[in-house]
Structure 1
Amino acid sequence: AVRWGVDLSFKLYTDDRVASEEFKNGVCDMLNLPGIRAREYNDFTGSLNALGALPTYEHLGMAIKSISSPRGAKIMRKGDYEIVGIAPIGAVFLFVNDKNIHAPKDLSGKRITVLDNAPETAHIATRIGMTPVASGIRNALQKFNNRAVDVTGAPALAYEPMEMYKGLAPNGGIINWPKLQITMQLILRWKKVPEGFGQKSRDLMTNKYPAQIKKIVESEQTIPKKYWINISQETKDKWNEFFRKSRIALREEGVYNRKALTLFRKIRCKMDASLAECTSKDKE
């Protein structure tokens, strides 16, 4: 950043809500936030975590590379704010306390953590008939470990430090089909930095993507195989259709950006043109 004409100093926060409020109030000029929380600053990049929209790290990488290129610069700037970097945190998997839970219908009546800033989880709970339990990012996984909920979502990176094996014992598991992707997004007031800073930052972050994904995959591989619940292609198809209908519903509610969902659908169909959604009348 110094080479690009910007001298940065750092301030650490333990609560992303407080950090966001102080950013809005001018205490900081740059902010690093989870993508779900960053959605209020840019609903296009905030849609990267749309349910099932980017099922693999290859899909996610293609999306980030596309919107982080110079051609995507207009997408990254909204009002006074600009997204100057997107980093992967990992796919979110459903951690369940019963290995018999495979498909969406199996979740009916179960208790699930619902984050205050993630309408996706509230939508899932309502649609399937689950009992939502209001949670924050910091205590959602603790509630699973303490048996306060039956289901929660988490990336593999959380397994060891959050001691998720406590909640998985004795009969739990992790459904081996990601619910969504988590990213960290770097936001700044673009008028506070020299012109061109944002693109240089995005280029740097994009180049780091392969190394970041390598670490994420390594963390997933450290989870004992006994916990992974491998599901059939038929069940994956049911999840995919559930996610697709959920995305459309959340798009109509203004949660997801319409153009972002169209881009993600094109990426999925580029990766696999045989998908039913590629020719569906109500395709995204």
Structure 2
Amino acid sequence: MDLEVSIFNNERELVQNFKTETTCDAILIRGAVAMEFNKFSGTIEAVGALPERKHLQLLMQVFTSPKMNRFMSDGQYTVMGVATIGGNYAFMDDKSFKSLSSIKNKRVAVQTVEPGMRALTKKFGAVPVEGDMMANVQSYADNNVVSMLSPAIAYLVMGSGQISSDTGVLRNPISQSTMQFIGRSELFPDPLAQMLREDFLLKFDNYSARVDKEMALVPEDFWIETPDSETEKLSEATREVRIALRDEGYYDATMLRIARKIRCKFNPERSECINPTE
């Protein structure tokens, strides 16, 4: 393919242009935003669905199976690739906050495009303050909120000058953060889209290495370790949120089932593997 790249500084403007104009044949957007074009693929970023990168990598192998092609397109738009950009994390303004239980009754910045994060915040008794990522980063840096649920790249956006030594981020990600390649179905038929998905899988380790290089800039003392008991509490809370949003029609049930099977492949002793509810 002979590609011409156009740069948009605002993701929402990019999406609106793609939907209403013919400027772009395909777009590269975050997974939470991709939900607008493909619920199956967007559900990859469901809270707690894929706890670690290894879960996402196995899912990408599943994605390349031709049997999955029917989930990749709604007739108008087609998913042509998924790349990791790290995880979505809970940023805290105080290192004494060891878990999401610490945010009860407090203001937490969440992205407008993330109903799962909003629901999880409420699950822990906090008050979600919605905005786009840049607005949330500024709100967090200005101490207008005590926490921010955001992709790891928020740390890089802030820069060391806006980060206090008292702040930190919970080491365990709330969900995986991805970039997804979405194209117009009439221009990217199944055989071509399948080739692109396979190419994304082949480059998964390269994308991961780039993320690791950037994440190496995060000082070790910025990470906050969460007690095992709180990790279990988070796992249960995210499961309840996923089921609720699935029942409301937001999360895709098939993707949630696949994600559960992947979690169980790595840890078959989990209770959800014995008595599945997803």
Class of the TM-score when normalised by the shorter of the 2 chains: over 0.9
1:125 counterpart (121, 127, 137): 121
2:148 counterpart (141, 146, 152): 152
- Runs of at least 5 residues in structure 1 that lack an aligned partner in the other structure: 2-6
One-letter amino acid of the counterpart of residue 198, structure 1: A
Distance 1:94 1:41 in 2: 26
2:277 counterpart (272, 275, 283): 283
Partner of 1:11: 6
2:32 counterpart (31, 36, 39): 36
Partner of 1:250: 245
One-letter amino acid of the counterpart of residue 220, structure 2: K
What is the correspondence of 1:198-209 to structure 2 with a 5 Å cutoff? 198-209=193-204
Aligned 8 A contact 2:110 2:149 in 1: no
Distance 1:164 1:238, change over 3 A: farther
Partner of 2:263: 268
Distance 1:42 1:195 in 2: 15
Are residue 60 (structure 1) and residue 61 (structure 2) matched?
Answer: no
Distance 2:184 2:217 in 1: 39
- Per the TM alignment, residue 104 of structure 1 is displaced from its structure 2 partner at its CA by 3.0
Distance 1:196 1:225, change over 3 A: same
Distance 1:96 1:239 in 2: 16
Three-state SS of the structure 1 residue aligned to 2:81 is strand
2:170 counterpart (175, 181, 201): 175
Distance 2:10 2:243 in 1: 31
Superposed CA RMSD = 1.7
Give the length in aligned residue pairs.
Answer: 277
Are residue 105 (structure 1) and residue 133 (structure 2) matched?
Answer: no
- Per the TM alignment, residue 220 of structure 1 is displaced from its structure 2 partner at its CA by 2.6
- Runs of at least 5 residues in structure 2 that lack an aligned partner in the other structure: none
- State the TM-score, normalized to the length of structure 1: 0.92
Distance 2:193 2:161 in 1: 40
> Identity, % of aligned pairs?
30
- State the TM-score, normalized to the length of structure 2: 0.94
Partner of 1:239: 234
